[in-house]
């Protein structure tokens, strides 16, 4: 029997975000402008191809143009950067997303840095990260922004809470920690080298799981009444949280799927629309 008070339904949050974009897209259309997101896929990883296709379909449903750039697995870093620069220079492209991960021989950080900041709708550049740290980012990383959007949609207070983030990636764990800190949470960032991880997680009023390991967080790690946000997505539609055990102690929890994932995509669409407004209306 589950005792969580709230299942944090990402589909509801995503629908709300998309609904808020319709008028803005129509206003752009009246001026002959169609928001455009370019996605770049290097190689033939099936999971990455699925993610890119999902993003393209989401764009189409909302009236956002989607350009898909597919490069072979043996593409060099220089060739990838050349493709990014072509999109940077295209005035009809408003957002650029490089699907992660890229093949190992590519300098992923150099490729991310090539994305023009005005088109960095996925928040992957170091400049975007720095702006996020100061609370000034137009386009913070999409999954961290989605996590905060879920908390806001359900009117879950962040201020004064102890947030424990499991994971320290530059596009998830670190930026969400900064976003929560900027909203006056006290934040503990944990990772694979953290000693007594379970004890640290038990301190959290808000727990964000972003470690990339299926069912990694167990129910007895969760303080009674804590809010649990599962940012993991592993093979078989399995999150980083053992949902069935964690739901017992949590007062609110995101499922996988239909939790953080749909809101991440909706946030990407929102950033693309905002980028198109900034690039064409200002």
Question: For position 236, what pLDDT does the model report?
Answer: 87
On whether both 73 and 150 belong to a single domain, the answer is no
Average pLDDT value for residue range 136-161: 98
> Is residue 2 scored above 70 in pLDDT?
no
The C-alpha atoms of residue 263 and residue 78 are separated, in whole angstroms, by: 33
Q: Where are the alpha helices (DSSP H) in 90-205?
A: 108-114, 126-133, 142-153, 173-182, 197-201
On whether both 166 and 241 belong to a single domain, the answer is yes
On whether both 209 and 106 belong to a single domain, the answer is no
| Closest residue by Cα to residue 47 from 100, 108, 124 | 100
User: Coil, helix or strand for 124?
Assistant: coil
Domain boundary among 82, 116, 150: 116
Question: pLDDT tens digits for 95-128?
Answer: 999 999 999 999 999 999 999 999 999 999 999 9
Question: pLDDT tens digits for 198-230?
Answer: 999 999 999 999 999 999 999 999 999 999 999
Q: How many domains does the chain have?
A: 2
The C-alpha atoms of residue 187 and residue 185 are separated, in whole angstroms, by: 6
> Is residue 92 scored above 50 in pLDDT?
yes
* Exposure string over 139-174, b if 16+ CB within 10 A, otherwise e: bbbbbbbbbbbbbebeebebeebbbbbbbbbebbbb
% of the chain with per-residue pLDDT over 70:
98
Domain that includes residue 97, residue range: 31-116
On whether both 99 and 162 belong to a single domain, the answer is no
On whether both 159 and 206 belong to a single domain, the answer is yes
Average pLDDT value for residue range 135-139: 96
On whether both 107 and 146 belong to a single domain, the answer is no
What value does the mean pLDDT of the chain take?
95
Q: Would you place residue 255 in the very low, low, confident or very high pLDDT band (cuts 50, 70, 90)?
A: very high
The C-alpha atoms of residue 72 and residue 180 are separated, in whole angstroms, by: 38
Question: Can you give the CATH number for the domain in which 156 is found?
Answer: 3.40.50.720
Q: Identify whether 101 is preceded by a cis peptide bond (ω within 30 of 0).
A: yes
Question: For position 281, what pLDDT does the model report?
Answer: 84
Question: For position 4, what pLDDT does the model report?
Answer: 43
Question: For position 192, what pLDDT does the model report?
Answer: 86
In a domain, 123, yes or no: no
In a domain, 247, yes or no: yes
In a domain, 69, yes or no: yes
Q: Would you place residue 233 in the very low, low, confident or very high pLDDT band (cuts 50, 70, 90)?
A: confident
Question: For position 235, what pLDDT does the model report?
Answer: 86
> Is residue 46 scored above 90 in pLDDT?
no
On whether both 63 and 157 belong to a single domain, the answer is no
Q: Would you place residue 179 in the very low, low, confident or very high pLDDT band (cuts 50, 70, 90)?
A: very high
Question: For position 1, what pLDDT does the model report?
Answer: 43
Question: pLDDT tens digits for 3-40?
Answer: 447 999 999 999 999 999 999 999 999 999 999 999 99
From residue 223, alpha-carbon distances to 184, 190, 200, 214 in Å are 20, 16, 10, 20
Average pLDDT value for residue range 44-55: 88
Question: For position 5, what pLDDT does the model report?
Answer: 75
Given a contact cutoff of 8 angstroms between Cβ atoms, the answer to whether 92 and 44 are in contact is: no
> Is residue 253 scored above 60 in pLDDT?
yes
> Is residue 94 scored above 60 in pLDDT?
yes
Q: Which residues are catalytic?
A: 55, 99, 122
On whether both 228 and 156 belong to a single domain, the answer is yes
């Amino acid at each position: 029997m589950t005792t969580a008070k709230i299942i944090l339904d990402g589909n509801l949050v995503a629908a709300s975000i998309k609904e808020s974009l319709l008028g803005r897209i129509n206003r752009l259309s009246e001026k002959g402008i169609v928001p455009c997101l370019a996605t770049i896929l290097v190689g033939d990883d099936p999971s990455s191809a699925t993610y890119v296709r999902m993003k393209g379909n989401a764009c189409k449903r909302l009236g956002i143009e989607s350009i898909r750039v597919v490069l072979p697995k043996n593409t060099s870093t220089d060739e990838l950067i050349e493709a990014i620069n072509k999109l940077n220079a295209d005035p009809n492209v408003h957002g650029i997303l490089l699907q992660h991960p890229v093949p190992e021989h590519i300098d992923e950080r150099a490729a991310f840095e090539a994305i023009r900041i005005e088109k960095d709708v996925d928040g992957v550049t170091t400049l975007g990260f720095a702006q996020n740290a100061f609370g000034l980012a137009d386009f913070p990383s999409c999954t961290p922004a989605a996590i905060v959007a879920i908390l806001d949609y359900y009117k879950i207070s962040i201020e004064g809470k102890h947030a424990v983030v499991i994971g320290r990636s530059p596009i998830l764990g670190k930026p969400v920690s900064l976003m929560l800190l900027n909203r006056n949470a006290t934040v503990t960032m944990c990772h694979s080298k953290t000693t007594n991880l379970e004890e640290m997680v038990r301190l959290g009023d808000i727990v964000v799981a972003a470690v990339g390991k299926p069912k990694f967080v167990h129910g007895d790690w969760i303080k009674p009444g804590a809010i649990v946000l599962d940012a993991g997505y592993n093979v078989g539609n399995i999150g980083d949280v053992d949902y069935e055990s964690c739901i017992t102690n949590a007062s609110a929890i995101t499922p996988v799927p239909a939790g953080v994932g749909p809101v991440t995509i909706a946030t990407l669409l929102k950033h693309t629309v905002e980028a198109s407004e900034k690039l064409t209306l200002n």
